[in-house]
Amino acid sequence: RSSFLSVRDLHVRFTTLDGIVKAVDGLSFDLERGSTLGIVGESGSGKSVSSLAILGLHNPKKTVIGGEIHFDGVELTKASENEMNKLRGRRIAMIFQDALAALSPFYSVGEQIAETYRRHMGASRKEARQRAIDMLGRVGIPNPERRVDDYPHHFSGGMRQRAMIAIALACNPDLLIADEPTTALDVTVQSQILDLLGDLQSEFGTAIIFITHDLGVIAQTADDVLVMYAGRCVEKGTVREVLRDARHPYSWGLLSSVPDLGGDVDIPLRPVRGTPPSLLSPPPGCPFHPRCDYVARVGDDACKTSRPTLTLADGRGSACHLTADEKAEIFATEVRPL
């Protein structure tokens, strides 16, 4: 396969005082240029750790990475720190939830965009300042010629998020990793930022990995979806398949915890009960079984003893022992579709 980004059997393990944490345990996916993969799951499901591994931002002394990450012909797990430094910011960029932490309080927003552009593109100071003004305009900051000299604390939360996007896209990266970038914003601003990212994606042709716990955000942004649980992918498909015809009980729980967005209101809200498992000692069998309502339906204690595997047909599949007919029936009668 010659996808632009191809992740194969990714494992990320790190050592803690309590033992070895298997944060990512055999993750595979492909991403094409210009398209968006949504990675969804609760905190601690391994979704952020996967992206840090792609960026080479893990602590090499404490972390063991297995598997392969092919990015446009480069094997990132074998790339040197020097090679990774060249890729980061220039060809792979990242935006986070907390713009205030990501931006420096000591430099103007314009200087921070210009500095990124100068460092990676070898532009002159004058060109870089002009790029900063252009980018601020592109992300919808009014009066960019004036705002370019403002500091982050002069900006509202939504504007800081726009400024972070401007920095991330200043060098026209091929891949943008967006980790909960709108989680701290109110719904209206969140929606504006998601629209903006969509517009910039079509303009720049950027591929996006969108990491979120919010299926509403997935519905608005993603082409394909990967549902993560306990460091593994439990369901994969197109956004339509996963939101309209989900096949894994964990995905059903995520869907059933989204307040009504036009789905079937006769089916009550029913968030996933319990808490995510410890990745130091994940449960045997299906890691979701302590929280799953369908263990008895599968019978023979299979959920508690045998680990379901993810088998994909045309990129579609789920890791669960229920039969295809059972999944279809349960989805139709018990789950609120998005």
User: Which positions touch ligand SF4 (CB under 6 A)?
Assistant: 249, 286, 288-289, 292, 294-295, 298, 303, 308, 320-322
Q: What minimum distance in Å lies between the beta carbon of 334 and ligand SF4?
A: 13
320 binds, among ligand SF4, Mg ion, none (CB under 5 to 8 A by kind): ligand SF4
56 or 249: CB nearest ligand SF4: 249
Are 65 and 77 within 8 A, CB to CB?
yes
Q: What minimum distance in Å lies between the beta carbon of 251 and ligand SF4?
A: 9
Burial 183-192 (b: 16+ CB within 10 A, else e): ebbeeebbeb
124 or 333: CB nearest ligand SF4: 333
How distant, in Å, are the alpha carbons of 22, 61, 177, 307 from that of 214? 24, 33, 16, 26
β-bridge pairing 317-318 and 232-238: antiparallel
295 binds, among Mg ion, ligand SF4, none (CB under 5 to 8 A by kind): ligand SF4
127 or 326: CB nearest ligand SF4: 326
321 binds, among Mg ion, ligand SF4, none (CB under 5 to 8 A by kind): ligand SF4
- For residues 236 and 54, what is the distance between their CA atoms, to the nearest angstrom? 19
Please state the φ and ψ torsions of residue 302, each to the nearest 5 degrees.
Answer: -55, -40
User: Which residues contact Mg ion by CB under 5 A?
Assistant: 48
45 binds, among Mg ion, ligand SF4, none (CB under 5 to 8 A by kind): none
208 binds, among Mg ion, ligand SF4, none (CB under 5 to 8 A by kind): none
Which residue's structure tokens are 């998020």?
161
- For residues 198 and 217, what is the distance between their CA atoms, to the nearest angstrom? 12
How distant, in Å, are the alpha carbons of 69, 231, 251 from that of 279? 22, 8, 19
Q: What minimum distance in Å lies between the beta carbon of 302 and ligand SF4?
A: 7
225 or 298: CB nearest ligand SF4: 298
Q: What minimum distance in Å lies between the beta carbon of 48 and Mg ion?
A: 3
Q: What minimum distance in Å lies between the beta carbon of 311 and ligand SF4?
A: 13
Please state the φ and ψ torsions of residue 176, each to the nearest 5 degrees.
Answer: -115, 125
Q: What minimum distance in Å lies between the beta carbon of 292 and ligand SF4?
A: 3
Q: What minimum distance in Å lies between the beta carbon of 303 and ligand SF4?
A: 3
213 or 297: CB nearest ligand SF4: 297
- Angle (CA) 284-285-287 rounded to 5° is 75
Q: What minimum distance in Å lies between the beta carbon of 212 and ligand SF4?
A: 21
Which one, of 180, 332, 305, lies nearest residue 246 by Cα?
Answer: 332
β-bridge pairing 92-95 and 19-31: unpaired
12 or 128: CB nearest Mg ion: 12
288 binds, among ligand SF4, Mg ion, none (CB under 5 to 8 A by kind): ligand SF4
180 or 224: CB nearest Mg ion: 180
Q: What minimum distance in Å lies between the beta carbon of 115 and ligand SF4?
A: 48
7 binds, among ligand SF4, Mg ion, none (CB under 5 to 8 A by kind): none
CB under 8 Å to 296, separation ≥6 — which residues? none
Are 264 and 253 within 8 A, CB to CB?
no
Are 33 and 22 within 8 A, CB to CB?
no
303 binds, among ligand SF4, Mg ion, none (CB under 5 to 8 A by kind): ligand SF4
173 or 249: CB nearest ligand SF4: 249
Which one, of 200, 138, 195, lies nearest residue 163 by Cα?
Answer: 138
Q: What tokens appear for 120 in the block? A: 């990676």
71 or 229: CB nearest ligand SF4: 229
End-to-end CA distance of the chain: 32
